[in-house]
Amino acid sequence: MHIGVLTGGGDCPGLNAVLRSVVRTAEKEYGSTVVGFRNGWRGLLEDDAMVLDRPVVNGLLTRGGTVLGSARVAPQKLRDGLGRMREVLDAHGVDALLPIGGEGTLTAAAWLASEGVPVIGIPKTIDNDIHGTDLTFGFDTAVSIATDLIDRLHTTAESHQRVLLVEVMGRHAGWIALNAGLASGAHLTITPEQPFDIEEVCKLVTARFDRGHRHVIGVVSEGATPLPGTMPLRDGGLDEFGHRRFTGVAQQLGEELERRTGKEVRTTVLGHVQRGGTPTSFDRVLATRFGLHAAIAAHEGHFGQMVALHGTEIGLVPLADAVRELKTVPKSRLAETASFTG
């Protein structure tokens, strides 16, 4: 069998570990070969491919990023390019395509699958917002990095009796904020799922200082928004991929908070550092298992599916179901933070 792989969307720690796992399983267990398309779907549209064999993937288990490169491609360009992708896959003699990506990449994978292309999706994103899988690799690394950095902010915030707001990634889902907030003992967590009330935030901050505490740590998802009519938030419009352009919600919240409470506020935006560097051991294992099971599924002909973590086992879910909606943080999980808020 000849397997095609690509890595699409924002990169995330563990992508290289998946590539290594697919190649090792395909070559060693089945005597199959693997071709990689560079820069996500763009590599398939432009027929930009490279051989992926064991010498190429040796040593990739621990390396962040993706040796294939990654890119976002506008949804309309993908829709219009499905025919071209089929041509390129045929030209390379690809028997199974394994796209590794988040919502956008997997949606295009589902389109191809619905046209009869043999596809098996592999979910990745630090945001952990893919439906149908308990976790995506990259998430644990992002939470670990964010936690480590927030831990460091406690001491400086305390020394200066400041409010420190930390903006973490999370476009539609607050999983990183929720988990990094719980892990680092944050006093306030704001996620995209629950618009925040600036009045409530001010009350929390004032009450905490009134009780004699010397600092406040707040974790804010980049996709968080204020309750309508409570506080202005600059509108950055949409980018060419249809994503909201963020304008720095934590910074704007911090300025408003300082103005209303008189407390000194500083904001730290963690940004792409959350996606960089080596994956945690958890993500290395999850990525390796996803790659292994995707390669097995390809050889067994389970097309139109996505590998997924269910409890401790790796299973398969229909791609079309996985991309139907995003996995956001449920109210019950947000409620769990209540005892640790303030």
Which residue in 88, 120, 94, 103 sits closest to 8, CA to CA?
103
State the DSSP string of 167-216.
EE--SS--HHHHHHHHHTT-SEEE-TTS-B-HHHHHHHHHHHHHTT---E
Structure tokens at 239: 């980018």
Beta carbon nearer to ligand F6P, 101 or 291: 101
Considering only 41-49, 91-99, 125-133, 251-259, which stretch makes contact with ligand F6P by CB under 6 A?
A: 125-133
Beta carbon nearer to ligand F6P, 26 or 139: 139
d(CA 249, CA 255): 10
Beta carbon nearer to ligand F6P, 10 or 121: 10
| 113 in contact with ligand F6P (CB under 6 A) | no
| 102 in contact with ligand F6P (CB under 6 A) | yes
| 171 in contact with ligand F6P (CB under 6 A) | yes
| 65 in contact with ligand F6P (CB under 6 A) | no
- Whether 90 is catalytic is no
Alpha carbon separation from 261 to 63, 115, 160, 217 (Å, rounded): 45, 58, 16, 15
| 101 in contact with ligand F6P (CB under 6 A) | no
Beta carbon nearer to ligand F6P, 165 or 173: 173
d(CA 100, CA 280): 19
DSSP 24: H
Among 127, 140, 256, 283, binds ligand F6P (CB under 6 A): 127
Q: Which of 47, 80, 95, 127 is catalytic?
A: 127
Active centre residues (catalytic) = 127
Contacts to ligand F6P by CB under 6 A:
10, 102, 125-127, 169-171, 222, 275
